[in-house]
A = this chain, B = another copy of it.
Amino acid sequence: MDFAPSARAADLIERVRTFIETEIDPVEEGYHREVAARRAGAGDPWQPLPLIEELRAKARAQGLWNLFLPAGHEGPYAEKYGTLGGAGLSNTDYAPIAELTGRSFLAPHIFNCNAPDTGNMEVLLKYGNQDQRDEWLDPLLDARIRSAFCMTEPGVASSDATNMELRAVVEGDEVVINGRKWWSTGVGHPDCKIFIVMGLTDPDADRHHRHTMVLVPRDTPGVRIERLLPTMGIHDEPHGHGEVSFTDVRVPVANIISGPGEAFSIAQGRLGPGRVHHCMRLIGLAEKALELACERGLSRIGFGKPLINLGGNRERVAEARIAIDSTRLLVLHAAWKLDTGGPLHALSEVSQIKVAAPNMAQQVIDFAMQIHGGGGLSDDFPLAAAWTNARALRLADGPDEVHRGMIARLELGKYGAKR
């Protein structure tokens, strides 16, 4: 049970830390101010700022690029587009990097390590064929394009993935797609060119073989971005979360990933490492929030004392430290289980972190917001967006309740319970 990063990872972690501190931290506040100004009328917040491209070029030049690339699946891509040294990192090795990038809104994008592109690239690596990789994975690793993952639907309880109703019917050498998705993250970005869409192909098959994953280029006729959804009022420009309708959309059967009816197992395989990434980023986000809370709490004075010394604030600092540290260890443990036993041996562990990390982060950020007063709710600090991020992750990739159900099922299974 060794969570220490390898020497190569340790070196990368330090380089990422330095890059964030020297290249991203100094410009991040200005970035958000500019986006806010655009929102207030000074421009189009959905057009990416040039700053992003500049920073990506710098990061790439330093080999801090595609670090998420999963070990064992990287093939020729690690050398072509990937990490220093040319091989993928284990989940345990990548986890501290994800934590660092989670401290910043921009960092994941700068290093080409942002959801949902990472998960989509992983799907193409693990389940795509060479043609699909050449057409879509290559430009994604090269950051020429971006992608979206279209799974959740407005009309059904999507926490049960077998509920999905969008149809993806095979007709001859085409797949015909009809239906509606929402919370498709990233569709607001002008570079978002390819969607991975989960659709119902065979309603009569068993529950876990009814759905198919299909690659749908954004410009296919019948695809329409209906609107961009706010999350607690926040749009996350220029990426956004969209509602997308598909009306008689036709793509070749060659666009099916892995095979008809394979969507469920692809979704499962996609989500293990992705959840580790999300959770480690939340650890970083919570650390950032705690830092802001301590700094604000020590510098602001109320009733003759630093705010941090009023009421139960110091106890909340202590509880935050305990919660962050124990959750980080839990996530590292899940990463290590994924690395050593594979996803099927880490089902409970991955569900555990998916419950623990967003709830922990939400709690720590709430404290930081409270100590910032009204500022904590505004966009002068990254706290409102951070809270919204953590809150959304109590639903995204499966709501808390579904994961608790999975953990309980596995626990009770030890005693012979069937379900």
Chain A residues with a Cβ under 8 A of chain B: 1-4, 40, 152, 154, 156-160, 163, 182-183, 227-235, 290, 294-295, 298, 300-303, 306-308, 310-319, 321-322, 325-327, 329-330, 332-333, 348-349, 351-352, 355-356, 369-370, 373-379, 384-385, 387-388, 391-392, 394-396, 399-401, 403-409, 411-412, 414-417
Measured CA separation A404–B319 after assembly (Å)? 7
Give chain B nearest CB distance to A67 CB in angstroms: 20
Whether the Cβ atoms of B321 and A330 lie closer than 8 Å is no
Measured CA separation A370–B163 after assembly (Å)? 18
Q: Which of B160, B182, B322, B395 contacts A407 (CB 8 A)?
A: B322
Copies of the chain in the assembly: 4
A313, A384, A392, A411 — most chain B CB neighbours (10 Å): A411
Beyond A40-B227, A157-B300, 5 extra complex contacts between A and B, CB < 8 Å: A159-B307, A163-B301, A298-B412, A303-B405, A326-B352
Whether the Cβ atoms of A415 and B157 lie closer than 8 Å is no
Whether the Cβ atoms of B302 and A160 lie closer than 8 Å is yes
In the bound complex, residues from chain B placing their C-beta under 8 Å from that of A159 are 302, 307, 373
Measured CA separation A414–B316 after assembly (Å)? 16
Measured CA separation A378–B236 after assembly (Å)? 13
Give chain B nearest CB distance to A166 CB in angstroms: 15
Whether the Cβ atoms of A374 and B163 lie closer than 8 Å is no
Closest to A158 in B: B373
Q: Which of B300, B369, B378, B396 contacts A230 (CB 8 A)?
A: B378
Known contacts A311-B314, A311-B401, A411-B318, A232 near B377 by CB under 8 Å: yes
Give chain B nearest CB distance to A159 CB in angstroms: 5
30 residue pairs A–B, Cβ–Cβ below 8 Å: A2-B2, A3-B3, A40-B228, A152-B374, A156-B300, A160-B303, A163-B301, A229-B379, A230-B378, A233-B234, A233-B384, A290-B411, A298-B412, A303-B405, A311-B405, A312-B312, A312-B314, A312-B315, A312-B401, A314-B404, A314-B409, A315-B401, A318-B405, A321-B348, A321-B352, A321-B408, A326-B330, A329-B333, A370-B399, A377-B392
In the bound complex, residues from chain B placing their C-beta under 8 Å from that of A232 are 232-234, 377, 384, 387-388
Measured CA separation A332–B403 after assembly (Å)? 25
Looking at chain A's contact residues, the main secondary structure is helix
Q: Which of B182, B298, B374 contacts A374 (CB 8 A)?
A: B182
Give chain B nearest CB distance to A153 CB in angstroms: 10
Measured CA separation A354–B123 after assembly (Å)? 43
Whether the Cβ atoms of B394 and A370 lie closer than 8 Å is yes
In the bound complex, residues from chain B placing their C-beta under 8 Å from that of A156 are 300-301
Q: Which of B1, B356, B376, B378 contacts A3 (CB 8 A)?
A: B1
A152, A235, A290, A318 — most chain B CB neighbours (10 Å): A318
Whether the Cβ atoms of A377 and B352 lie closer than 8 Å is no
Give chain B nearest CB distance to A123 CB in angstroms: 21
Measured CA separation A1–B307 after assembly (Å)? 35
In the bound complex, residues from chain B placing their C-beta under 8 Å from that of A327 are 326
Closest to A228 in B: B40
Q: Which of B2, B227, B231, B310 contacts A401 (CB 8 A)?
A: B310
Whether the Cβ atoms of B412 and A294 lie closer than 8 Å is yes
Measured CA separation A316–B407 after assembly (Å)? 10
Whether the Cβ atoms of A298 and B417 lie closer than 8 Å is yes
Q: Which of B154, B326, B356, B377 contacts A356 (CB 8 A)?
A: B326
The 3 lowest CB-CB distance pairs between A and B, nearest first, are A312-B312, A233-B233, A233-B234
Whether the Cβ atoms of B314 and A322 lie closer than 8 Å is no
Measured CA separation A384–B356 after assembly (Å)? 22
Whether the Cβ atoms of A315 and B157 lie closer than 8 Å is no
Whether the Cβ atoms of A391 and B377 lie closer than 8 Å is yes
In the bound complex, residues from chain B placing their C-beta under 8 Å from that of A157 are 300-302, 307, 373
